[in-house]
Amino acid sequence: MINKKVMKIFRHELASKRKSPSLWLLFIMIQLLLAVALYTGWQQFQQSVQTQSTAQALVEQQWQAQPDRHPHRVAHFGHFAFRPPSALSFFDLGVNAWVGDSIFLEAHKQNSANFANDQDGGTLLRFSELSSANILLTIWPLLIIGLGFASISGEQKSGTLRQLMSMGVSFRELVTGKSLSYLLLSVVFILPVFILSLVLASSAGATFSSEGVVRLLLLFSVYLLYCLFWIGLTLLISSYVKEPKQSLVLLTSIWFILTILMPRMLAEFAHTQNPHQKRNDFELAVKLDNRKVGNSHNPDDPYFSKFRAETLKKYGVDTVEELPINYKGLVMQEGEKLNAQIHNKHYEKQLEKFSAQQQFIRQFYWLNPYLFVRDFSMALTRTDTKHFLDFEQQAEAHRYARIQKLNQLHTNEIDHHNDRDQKVHKSYWQEFKPFSYQAPDLTWSLSVFSWLWLLPLLVVIAMFITLNTKGMQRRIYATV
């Protein structure tokens, strides 16, 4: 398929692009932009790692430094879970600006992640941050369009296409040669940012493993696929539309629809179709359900009366005072269990809504590879919603285990009589394991994509096949 003629076209195309000063200028600007984005991303990443790890260490130290206390006092003192930024988040910031970095873990209550960095987001983040990924996703296609919008229609208009054909260059060879040259240019221009990312990531040390290299390689390939998509599209439009100006306008319109308009419309539409609950509604629903089940503070509450009867029966005694353990601690455990179940029930519902929204958008991956590459890139860099929710769930699991451990202390180490005035020894606080977020592995990160990556790939392949069909060739020959 690649013969001498193709190579000649390829070299000629490269040479002609090399001579264009405005392209040089644009390329230099893009490189600068990428460099700035990567640098600031890296700075933010380091800052964030620093903040989160210091804060986590601080709260662990505060926890262990507690004096003798009543376990339930400690349960209200609570703990914090911090979300360390993922190793490649300096490349793709993903949803990071919109989600909190820390969760306060306390008894009876599941807090949400607070302290996000979304100030002025409604004014300044309308196109998301200037991260490397975002530049490659939205601005880079414009450069490819700029490179290639006139590649066929221009040759056609200036009459050089006729000359080429008469020299025995087939349309197929022309397209292949040009595609190759644009691909090479794309590689040359996106490679530096990936190499730099690799260098930066590996300098981060412990947080970066061999899996990180695989992730980066996959990132590179998916962005290359994205380049191929735009190259194919540009050549296709350039072949169909006779006027270079028209093909430019059409291509930029398509660019606008695919990267700016459609993602927004889909996201808004997905939200209206599957609305999740707002904070107040969510908390109200949890509160009402909690009220229904029972109030552990009310001695005549039906649920807890039954619980008391069962407990007494189990230990074969008549009053809670006779129990070998502290009944109040048991009630705390039971209350926490119920409360967590109710919260999880509602939380699951929210998760379902979120994933239904995402599911809706995923249907359009084949039509709009921008969506696919954006989401795939976020998954690879662990910066998508799914990874954030995973943090929230890990934090909740940690909260539950920690509080229940305290409730067990309450049950076993505190006497029922005069409960409130007792304390347990501070050495117990050393027995609690610190919170550390377990970053999911590659298989988990990509699990939602199972075969979805195939569709955009097929679309790209189909585009190049169309370019190489006999029909296309005839069409071009007819108009030459």
Partner 1 sequence: MLLFKLECKRLFSGKINKLVLVLFLISGVFAIYQGAQGYKNIRIDQYKSKVVFQKEREHVTSRESLPEAGSLAYYASAPTKWQLSPWAALFVGESQSSMVATKIRATALQSQIFNREIVNPSQQRTGGLDLGFVLVFLLPLVIGIMTVTLISDEQHAGRWRLLNALPKSAFSQLCKQIALRFMVIWLLVVSLLLSAALLLSLPFDGVFWLVLTATSLYMLFWFSVAGLIMSFDKSSVVNSLAYLSSWVLFAMLIPGAVHLYLSNQFQTEAPLEISLQQRLVLNDGWDKDKQATLDEFLTHEPRWRDTAPLGEAFDWKWYYAQQHMSDLAVQQQWQEYIANNQRRHAQLQTLSALSPALYFQLKLNQLANTSSRDQADYQQDIVNYHNEMRHFFYDYLFFNKAISKEDVDNFILFEPKTSTMKSSASQNMWVLFISMLCVFAIALAAMVRLKQLRPA
Q: Looking only at residues 6 through 45 of this chain, which bind partner 1 when binding is defined by CB under 8 A?
A: 22, 26, 33, 36, 40, 43-44
Task: Supply the minimum distance, in Å, between the C-beta of residue 379 and partner 1.
Answer: 11
Please pick, from the candidates 47, 61, 221, 341, the single residue that binds partner 1 as defined by CB under 8 A.
47
Element (H, E) at 82: strand 79-82
Instruction: Give CA separation, 84 vs 57, 263, 426, 439, 444, in Å.
Output: 12, 28, 29, 9, 18
Candidates 258, 218, 266, 262; CA nearest to 234 is 258
- Binding window for partner 1 (CB under 8 A); candidates: 172-180, 332-340, 384-392, 435-443: 384-392
Task: Supply the minimum distance, in Å, between the C-beta of residue 324 and partner 1.
Answer: 28
Q: How many CB atoms sit inside 10 A of residue 100's CB?
A: 17
Task: Supply the minimum distance, in Å, between the C-beta of residue 266 and partner 1.
Answer: 8
Task: Supply the minimum distance, in Å, between the C-beta of residue 466 and partner 1.
Answer: 21
Please pick, from the candidates 20, 57, 159, 281, the single residue that binds partner 1 as defined by CB under 8 A.
281
- How many chain residues interact with partner 1 (CB under 8 A)? 92
Task: Supply the minimum distance, in Å, between the C-beta of residue 330 and partner 1.
Answer: 23
Task: Supply the minimum distance, in Å, between the C-beta of residue 318 and partner 1.
Answer: 29
CB closer to partner 1 out of 172 and 346: 346
Q: Provide the residue type at 22 as one letter.
A: S
Q: Which of residues 236-255 bind partner 1 (CB under 8 A)?
A: 244-246, 248-250, 252-253
Return the SS3 of 110. strand
Here's the x/- map for partner 1, 338-357, by CB under 8 A: it reads as ------------x---x--x
The structure tokens listed for 185 are: 């240019």
Please give the backbone phi and psi of residue 204, each rounded to the nearest 5 degrees, phi first: -70, -15
Task: Supply the minimum distance, in Å, between the C-beta of residue 165 and partner 1.
Answer: 24
CB closer to partner 1 out of 303 and 360: 360
Please pick, from the candidates 31, 277, 408, 422, the single residue that binds partner 1 as defined by CB under 8 A.
277
Q: Which of residues 95-124 bind partner 1 (CB under 8 A)?
A: 95, 97-102, 104, 112-124
CB closer to partner 1 out of 10 and 182: 182
CB closer to partner 1 out of 92 and 173: 92
Strand partners for 474: none
Interface with partner 1, residue 369, by CB under 8 A? no
Interface with partner 1, residue 59, by CB under 8 A? yes
Distance CA 459, CA 433 (A): 49
**In whole angstroms, what separates CA 39 from the centre of its chain?**
20
Here's the x/- map for partner 1, 62-101, by CB under 8 A: it reads as x----x-x---x--xxx-x-------------xx-xxxxx
Q: DSSP code of 275?
A: P
Give one DSSP letter per residue of 231-244, joined into a string. HHHHHHHHHH-SSH
Interface with partner 1, residue 127, by CB under 8 A? yes
Here's the x/- map for partner 1, 431-470, by CB under 8 A: it reads as ----------------------------------------
User: How many Cα atoms are found within 13 Å in the side-chain-facing hemisphere of 282?
Assistant: 19
The H-assigned helical ranges of 204-326 are 210-240, 244-256, 262-273, 279-293, 302-315
Please pick, from the candidates 9, 34, 139, 161, the single residue that binds partner 1 as defined by CB under 8 A.
139
Question: How many DSSP H helices and E strands does the chain contain?
Answer: 20, 3
User: How many Cα atoms are found within 13 Å in the side-chain-facing hemisphere of 5?
Assistant: 13
Please give the backbone phi and psi of residue 101, each rounded to the nearest 5 degrees, phi first: -105, -10
Here's the x/- map for partner 1, 148-167, by CB under 8 A: it reads as -xx-----------------
Q: Which of residues 254-273 bind partner 1 (CB under 8 A)?
A: 256-257, 260-261, 263-265, 267-268, 270-272
CB-CB contact of 244 with 152 (8 Å):
no
Please pick, from the candidates 51, 207, 408, 422, the single residue that binds partner 1 as defined by CB under 8 A.
51
Interface with partner 1, residue 61, by CB under 8 A? no
Return the SS3 of 293. helix
CB closer to partner 1 out of 311 and 377: 377
Q: Residue 157 burial (CB < 10 Å; 0-12/13-18/19+)?
A: middle
Sign of the torsion angle spanned by Cα atoms 360, 362, 366, 368: positive
